[in-house]
Amino acid sequence: MTIALSTLLIYAKDMQRTAQFYVAHFGYACDYAVVDGLMELKPQNGGAEILIHQAAKSLKFGSAVLKLSFSVADVEQFVAQAGAKGLAFGTVHQAHDYAFANTKDPDGNSISVSSRQYRAT
């Protein structure tokens, strides 16, 4: 049996705004249609799809127990390009043989970009 992580489900206060965020900053495609209560975002360069679901009013935001990490070959370049489009990242950190930087999506979900996948082995 083959098992692969293929889909991430994100609960959002504003589905449209959250979908636009991932389209604008992380290269996803979306037609913004809500089907079966979900908005589907397709990766353009490989990776997991994202489904956006309307969050219940009772859902508490702000307690991170999961972080989305996007692999990029050059973290500093990605952070600079994201900044030019209005997405601010924190400090670029160096760890062993790779770099990473952190930000949050419109709902406060933690996100990082990391070159760990591209490090020399």
Residues 17-42 have a mean pLDDT of 96
Identify the residue with better confidence: 1 or 115: 115
pLDDT tens per residue, range 34-75? 998 999 999 998 899 999 999 888 877 766 567 899 999 999
Instruction: For residue 52, give the 3-state DSSP assignment.
Output: strand
Question: Structure pTM?
Answer: 0.83
- Which residues neighbour 27 within 8 Å (Cβ) at sequence distance 6 or greater? 43, 44, 45
For CA atoms 59, 52, 7, 91, the dihedral sign is negative
pLDDT tens per residue, range 83-110? 999 999 999 999 888 999 999 999 888 8
| Alpha carbons 38 and 59: distance in angstroms, whole number | 17
| Alpha carbons 69 and 120: distance in angstroms, whole number | 19
Residues 5-15 have a mean pLDDT of 89
Residue 62 confidence (pLDDT): 66
Q: Measured between alpha carbons, how far is residue 17 from residues 44, 60, 115 in Å?
A: 19, 18, 27
Residue 116 confidence (pLDDT): 87
Neighbours of 61 (CB within 10 A): 12
Residue 64 confidence (pLDDT): 58
